[in-house]
Amino acid sequence: MSNIKKIGVIGAGSFGTALALTLVNKGHQVRIWSRDSQQLDLMKETRENPKFLPGVVLPEALEMAYTLEDAMKGADIVLFGVPAQAFRSVFAAASEFLDPQTIVVNVAKGIEMGTLLRLSQVAKEVKPDVRYVTLSGPSHAEEVARNLPTTVAVAADDEALALEVQEAFITERFRVYTNQDVAGVELGGSLKNIIALGAGISDGMGFGDNAKAALMTRGITEMCRLGSTLGADLTTFSGLTGIGDLIVTCTSMHSRNRRCGILIGQGMAPADAVKEIGMVVEGITTAEAAYALARKEGIEMPITECIYKVIHGEMDARYAVPYLMERGMKNEMQIF
C-alpha cells in the first residue's frame, strides 16, 4: 500500500485549511472543498485563506474542489472540518460520493442539538457502515498552519483505522497518538469549549488566575461525570483530548470560545459577542446540548448550567461565580 494518500478536505475553515496544508506538505494529494465558491476562487488566486488563516501561504499542490464529488473522487481519506451543527447535512450530502473503503476523519467538536448525539453517532445514523475516525486534541489551527509542534489523538472503534490515520497524518511537527475511546475523545473535545467560555467570562470580569484554574479543574470533573455516564473511559479525560485540549482552549487568545467569553464577561450580550468573533463559537451550542444531556441523565453540572443560563439570559454573569462559590460543601474527589 502506497504511503501517499488521496485526501479530500470538506470545509475550508481555519482547521480544515491547516490540516490540508499539513497533509499536502507531507506529500499527499489533497483537494479542499468549501460551500463558498468565491472563497475557493480567492484561495486559488492568492494562495492564502485570508478570512481564516491570513498570512499563511498555500502551496500550489493544494487543489481546490468546487463540488463534493470532485473533492471525494478516489479519496483514501476524507477529512470533515465543518461546524458541528452542520455536520449531519454536509455528511449526508457527501455520503452519496463516499466509497465504502474510504476512511472518514472528523475534526468537528460538538454535540448535535436536538438529538443530543455525538458526531460519530450522527455519521452512523446517516451511513451505518462508515469507517469513522475522530481527531482531537490541543491544536489551534493558527499554530498547526505555521508548523508549530502540535500533538493530537485519533480514535476509532476499529484500531486498524486509527493506526492508518495516524500513519497518514503524523509528521515531525504534528504528532498523532491513537485511542479507542471514541466517546471520551468526542466528549472531551466538545465539553471543554463550554469551560473555555466560562474561563473567558471569568477573565473578562477580572477574577484572576485562581478563579480560572478552579473553573478548569472543576470543569474536568463535570466532563468526567457526564462522560462516565455516557460510557467513556475516565482516563481519556486526563489525556490530550481532555485536559490537554481544555488547557489550551481556556488559556489561549487563539480560542474563539475564550475570546467570546471575555466579551460576555465585559458586559457584551452573547449574540453580539459571537458576531464580534466572526466565526463559529462551538461552546455556545454545545452548552445548550450538554445542559439538556445533564438534565436528561440526572447529572449535576453546575458550571455548564451557569454558562447555559448566562448565554440564554437567565443569569447575569456577575452572579454566576458567587453562585458557584457558595454551593454546599463536599469532598473534592467525589465525582457523583
Amino acid identity of residue 86, one-letter, is A
Residue of 5, 26, 109, 192 with catalytic role: 192
296 is catalytic: no
Helix axes 256-265, 182-204, angle to 10 degrees: 30
Instruction: For 295-332, give one letter per residue: b (16+ CB within 10 A) or e.
Output: eeeebebebbbbbbbbbeeebebeebbeebeeeeeeee
Measured CA to CA, the distance from residue 318 to residue 153 in angstroms comes to: 37
Quote the cell numbers at residue 204: 473578562
In angstroms, rounded to a whole number, what is the distance separating the alpha carbons of residues 58 and 16?
13
Distance of CA 137 to CAs 61, 83, 279, 296, 307, Å?
Answer: 27, 16, 20, 27, 23
Catalytic residue positions, numbered: 192
